[in-house]
Amino acid sequence: MKRVLIATSNAGKLRDFAGAAAPHGIEIGGIPNFASLPTVVENGQTFDENARKKAEEYSLAAPGQIVLADDSGLEVDALNGAPGVHSARYAADQPHLADENTDDEANNSRLIRELRKVPPEKRSGRFVCVLAVARDGATLATFRGVAEGRILDAPRGTNGFGYDPLFFFPQINKTFAELSAEEKARYSHRGEAFRKFLAWCAKQFPEDYI
């Protein structure tokens, strides 16, 4: 089984990537001693900037290896695209200045409060993922995935993480938190970005990835 390194300590993201990789016979692994590495400050203005920064810096800890890092979040139209790149810190008083992520429950609670007067037909939004691929400190490529949906006024489901319980995907009439890892990979922003990465790998490194 081939192995791909993911620069994250987020268990939810690792499950998502594992779900996307399993059908292709690829194992997802973390960077060795990741917890001891200096934290990369995600101060970019876009998902692309943050993904590139994380992939480049963390790839230095795994010389010669292909390292993936993603930045992802939820964009809600009624909130002018918020929480966006600040999705993981949305519950903070000033998310753009927060040094640490706020917990999922707090983030979801704030989102519910912000949308409490917004009618269902105006609760459109999307999950966005930008996946950056780096080796030895240089970005080799980036891939973007998007999932369009609607934001609920109460959570549904116990799987997933982040805003998954509030993100309703009309195509299957379920929230992302009501899906298995494999099902979520089929429909999610992260799954789409990962499939694009696999297609790129098949062309760039056919001896390793096919």
pLDDT at 206 (0 to 100)? 62
* 3-class secondary structure, 205: coil
Would you say 205 and 152 are in contact if contact means Cβ atoms under 8 Å apart?
A: no
Q: pLDDT truncated to tens, each residue of the chain (210 aa)?
A: 478 899 988 888 888 888 888 888 888 888 988 989 998 988 899 999 999 999 999 999 999 988 999 999 999 999 999 999 999 999 998 888 787 889 999 999 999 999 999 999 999 999 999 999 999 999 999 999 999 999 999 999 999 899 999 999 999 999 999 999 889 999 999 999 999 998 998 888 666 544
- Which among 186, 121, 184 has a CA at the least distance from the CA of 151? 121
pLDDT at 190 (0 to 100)? 93
Catalytic residue among 71, 103, 104, 153: 71
Residue 119 burial (10 A CB sphere; 0-12, 13-18, 19+): exposed
CATH assignment, 2-209: 3.90.950.10
pLDDT at 208 (0 to 100)? 56
Report how far residue 139's alpha carbon sits from residue 156's, in angstroms, rounded to the nearest whole number: 37
pLDDT at 3 (0 to 100)? 81
Report how far residue 61's alpha carbon sits from residue 133's, in angstroms, rounded to the nearest whole number: 14
pLDDT at 100 (0 to 100)? 84
Would you say 127 and 168 are in contact if contact means Cβ atoms under 8 Å apart?
A: no
- Give the start-to-end residue ranges of the domains of the chain: 2-209
pLDDT at 210 (0 to 100)? 41
Report how far residue 12's alpha carbon sits from residue 46's, in angstroms, rounded to the nearest whole number: 21
Would you say 131 and 143 are in contact if contact means Cβ atoms under 8 Å apart?
A: yes
What's the chain's length in residues?
210
* Bridge partners (DSSP) listed for residue 36: none
Q: 56 phi and psi, to 5 degrees?
A: -65, -50
pLDDT at 207 (0 to 100)? 60
Is there a catalytic annotation at residue 71?
yes
